Amino acid sequence: MRIPESGRALGTRTPEPGNVAGGPLRTQHLLGFLALAILLSTGCQPPTPSTEVVELTEGWEFSRADRAPGPGAPGELIDTLSTWLPATVPGTVHTDLLANGLIPDPFWRDRELTLQWVGEEDWVYRTTFQASPQLLESEVVELVFHGLDTFAEVRLNGLTILEADNMFRSWTVEVKDDLVSGENSLEVHFGSPLPPALDARAALPYELPAGNDRGDPPSRVFVRKAAYHYGWDWGPRLVTSGIWRPVELLAWSGARVADLHLTTDSISDDRAFLTATVELRVSREEADRRAAGGGVPAIVTLASPDGAFEPVLHEAILDPGLNQFEVPIQIPDPQRWWPNGLGEPHLYTAQAIVKAGRRIDTLTTRFGLRTLELVTEPDSVGESFFFRVNEVPVFMKGANVIPLDHFSPRVTEEDYRELFQDVVGANMNMLRVWGGGIYEEDRFYDLADEHGILIWQDFMFANGMYPGDSLFLANVRAEATYQVRRLRGHPSLALWCGNNEMDEGWRNWGWARNYDTPVDSAAVRDAYEAIFHDILPGVVAVEDPNRRYWPSSPSLGWGDPESLNRGDSHYWGVWHGQEPFQIFAEKLPRFSSEFGFQAFPPMETIVAFTDAADRSLFDPTLLVHQKHPIGNELITSYMGRDYPTPKAFEDFVYVSQLLQARGMRTAFVAHRRARPRTMGTLYWQLNDTWPVVSWSSRDYFGRWKALHYAARNAFAPLLLSPTLRGDALEVWGVSDLTRPVEGTLYLELLDFDGTLLWQLPLPTDLPPNQSQLLWEESATSILGDADSRRVVLVAELVETGDQAPGHSSLLYFHPPKELELGVPTIRFEITTGEEGTILTLEADVLAKNVYLTLEGTHFSDNFFDLLPHRPRTVRLETDLTPDQAEARLEIRTLAEIPQEGVDYDSSADRTDRPLP
């Protein structure tokens, strides 16, 4: 699967670095689109387009390089691999081998372990393409590689024109003099990324720590390549190579628009003031023709296709090479860009048009109007950490995102769309792009803009210390310059962060104590300072000065008490520290940028990568898809604290998801109750790169775990949070709305048969954008003589004048394993109408953690508690008819899980629940 051209940012071309002043500039304001009409009508003939783009995606082949086979290469394949085979560009060598039937699916069972040889080999890709006489008449022809992974020698017609060494850069070479009319050959020779890293490592007199190399030498830090390719505690080690982003020929003459970037200077309700920065490139030939006149005269027009501002016409004298100038723009009656949940993420469109001689070039971009700042100021706790958008303090709700596939070129536009639908569907407003993955595709950021999802963007450095030689640092600077310029125009971009967990590793994980001499230790730290306190903030200051830079996440380790008082926090006391879930309500950071707990993916996903014989908790094949060394043991240990221990493997999978959701929801609601002390909760992790047992809420195939449903409910704009603090029974209201909420809080104590034991209506006013204690009472006085193991507190807030069901939440007085649950009889029916396919359920007794499964179906709600005699509706996204869906729907509840001992073998008998 390739990223289609439509997945690239609208009108985007590779921005060139630099800050070159242009020639004399005159600015003139015209009405409407009169400027465009004049511009396009000059002369007897219409202007010729300046730029032609030829995509080189067809006819690619690949082969194993002609050298001695690597130590793990299968001998029976060597001859086949040395022939030319069809290849897909963009793509990877693993996916090309898979498409040609030469390797098994790397995600199937334990096949990952048998495919390490692929990363040890060298590979060659080649194609031919036609260069037309018209293309060769262009004054400049550039070959642009938007992504080469990673060590690549590029040969055009047998001549080496490029040697690349960074996966995260775009590479551009002028090739007009190397092209011939007619057929041209293009070869890309990829060297294995392993030997250069090992050579660089051997050249250092000391080791560099790398926190997730799974026992291998810490070689990945020497390579500017996605760290997760080398394996992580949620992903496989499959070190790949390939042309992973598009390749194109860019031919142009005269002048072309190289970049258009708009920044917001100020916004009021009446008017927005912006600065448009336009960069133009002028060919040497054009400049030579105009040399007698002292430069290249050009007419540049800035216009808004959607009519947001009046066109602005410029007459300029351009110098050869790169020209840059700034133009003030005003937008009357501006519509602001808002994060999800606070308003519309309105986007405008701007276009730059340059006409030099008889040639014309255009570049179009989208932008949003908003102010955003990261507020870090001293306060009564320590130092704040929150984002203020359009002058509104915003509580950030979201997750950390990793690449959607280990082989990222096969992620499709539809995959990205579904991801953002699920992000919005869970009421999120921020994602953190984690530093061990990739700088995401342009389409990812476009969709973030369209859906109002703010992006915390890590630079791609994670869990290790990096070298500090001059070549490496220069490579980092070029990478950062390219990526900052590529992404800075997105209104969704909220923050640049230097790295993931590196400062914490140095200070708290013992990295600094690993060195025999202070000289070695100082050299490692000096390299860190050079990258994260000099180069990266320097690039941001020049290329994106209105965006905040944060050196490292977290700013302090979770073992440091001060980490709760300032900066952002990765709190791993739960899971790694094996602390109870209740600690989340006590350890309240200023901004929680990472924390998590594992669960198994749904059984449908497990079936997709295992044989039936593999499906037991500690089967070696299954454990290939559990990368944490004691992950299943930790899940089992935590499960024993809160849940009945299931007998069968399939039941264990189900309860593991309930456990994950319960623990993480404890954190979500505690963080939200604690605002303004805590102003963000980004959990680890949103998604998976392959089918695996992990911390994700949305598995590799996009299936929602219980956690994703829990996040959706806990991240709702209006949250009711009943909680127990000792004997104190509290009900909190948390609102992210910018309006006050008036209504009635209804509190009920129900037993599991549905009998009403106590109730209280309470008029309630909840201020906007705040957390507030709404009610407090002794739990003992409310329970009276009721059996606390057989009752539930129901809290519901109904807004005044609202006829729809209110915002509700439930509170139990014991963990699930101590509740006296009866086996429910659930009646249901499925109907279709204007609102789609609707499932209505009703139970005779409390049905705890109702889990709905139906092949190929997504449920609007799942894993929920169904109160007795209170019907509940769920919307289905399915292609099945109601009769088909009713016949195939499966319903499971916690009360029906057999608990006779512990047997996690999939062959264990499971007592079927009674069907409704």
pLDDT in tens, 792-839: 999 999 999 876 677 899 999 999 999 999 999 999 999 998 889 999
| pLDDT score, position 28 | 38
Q: What is the DSSP letter of 531?
A: I
* Cβ proximity of 389 and 371 under 8 Å: yes
| pLDDT score, position 316 | 87
* Cβ proximity of 260 and 314 under 8 Å: no
| pLDDT score, position 146 | 98
> What are the Cα distances from residue 251, in Å, to 64, 141, 766?
32, 4, 61
Question: Residue 262's pLDDT band (boundaries 50, 70, 90)?
Answer: very high
Q: Which residues contact 106 (CB under 8 A, 6 or more apart)?
A: 94, 98, 112, 115, 236, 238, 406, 690
Question: Residue 291's pLDDT band (boundaries 50, 70, 90)?
Answer: low
Q: Which residues contact 274 (CB under 8 A, 6 or more apart)?
A: 262, 263, 264, 265, 328, 329, 330, 331, 369
Nearest-angstrom CA–CA distance, 851 and 301: 59
Number of Cβ atoms within 10 Å of the Cβ of 601: 25
Nearest-angstrom CA–CA distance, 456 and 399: 10
- What token pair was written down for 765? 């006013």
Question: Residue 16's pLDDT band (boundaries 50, 70, 90)?
Answer: very low
Asked whether the predicted pLDDT for residue 1 surpasses 80, the reply is no
Q: Is 776 a catalytic residue?
A: no
Helices 536-543, 470-487: axis angle to 10 degrees equals 30
Taken in order 819, 824, 830, 834, the sign of the CA dihedral is negative
* Cβ proximity of 200 and 222 under 8 Å: yes
Per-residue b/e over 778-814, b at no fewer than 16 CB within 10 Å?
ebeebbeebeeebbbbbbbbbbeeeeeebbebbbbbe
Mean pLDDT over 771-780 rounds to 97
Residue 911, φ and ψ in degrees, nearest 5:
-70, 120
Match 């509170």 to its residue by tokens: 811
- Helical spans, DSSP H, in 130-289: 133-136, 194-203, 284-289
CA neighbours within 13 Å on the CB side: how many for 698? 27
Question: Residue 8's pLDDT band (boundaries 50, 70, 90)?
Answer: very low
Asked whether the predicted pLDDT for residue 215 surpasses 70, the reply is no
* Cβ proximity of 590 and 568 under 8 Å: yes
Q: What percent of the chain lies above the pLDDT cut of 90?
A: 84
For residue range 535-566, list pLDDT tens digits in order.
999 999 999 999 999 999 999 888 788 999 99
Asked whether the predicted pLDDT for residue 213 surpasses 80, the reply is no
| pLDDT score, position 492 | 98
| pLDDT score, position 623 | 97
Active-site option among 279, 310, 501, 650: 501
- What token pair was written down for 245? 């982003």
Number of Cβ atoms within 10 Å of the Cβ of 829: 12
Asked whether the predicted pLDDT for residue 904 surpasses 70, the reply is no
Reading phi first (left if > 0) and then psi (alpha if -120 to 50, else beta), residue 590 is in alpha
* Cβ proximity of 587 and 86 under 8 Å: no
Residue (of 545, 548, 543) closest to 568 by Cα position = 548
Number of Cβ atoms within 10 Å of the Cβ of 136: 14
Asked whether the predicted pLDDT for residue 341 surpasses 80, the reply is yes
User: Could you tell me the pTM of the whole model?
Assistant: 0.93
Nearest-angstrom CA–CA distance, 446 and 524: 38
Average pLDDT of every residue of the chain: 91
For residue range 131-186, list pLDDT tens digits in order.
999 999 999 999 999 999 999 999 999 999 999 999 999 999 999 999 999 999 99
Nearest-angstrom CA–CA distance, 733 and 765: 9
- What token pair was written down for 799? 């807004």
For residue range 854-865, list pLDDT tens digits in order.
999 999 999 999
Match 């500690």 to its residue by tokens: 618
- What token pair was written down for 812? 């139990």
Question: Residue 216's pLDDT band (boundaries 50, 70, 90)?
Answer: low
| pLDDT score, position 287 | 66
| pLDDT score, position 601 | 98
For residue range 649-691, list pLDDT tens digits in order.
999 999 999 999 999 999 999 999 999 999 999 999 999 999 9
- What token pair was written down for 42? 């000059």
| pLDDT score, position 7 | 27
Mean pLDDT over 564-586 rounds to 96
Mean pLDDT over 406-414 rounds to 97
Question: Residue 900's pLDDT band (boundaries 50, 70, 90)?
Answer: low
For residue range 591-643, list pLDDT tens digits in order.
999 999 999 999 999 999 999 999 999 999 999 999 999 999 999 999 999 99
Nearest-angstrom CA–CA distance, 527 and 539: 17
Residue (of 530, 428, 440) closest to 736 by Cα position = 428
Nearest-angstrom CA–CA distance, 389 and 840: 40
Residue 715: its H or E element: none
| pLDDT score, position 9 | 28
| pLDDT score, position 288 | 73
Q: Would you give the distance in Å from CA 689 to the centre of its chain?
A: 11
Q: In what order do the strands lie in the sheet with 680-683?
A: 548-550, 493-497, 454-458, 430-433, 396-401, 680-683, 592-594, 569-570
* Cβ proximity of 228 and 437 under 8 Å: yes
Asked whether the predicted pLDDT for residue 476 surpasses 70, the reply is yes
Residue (of 915, 787, 893) closest to 847 by Cα position = 893
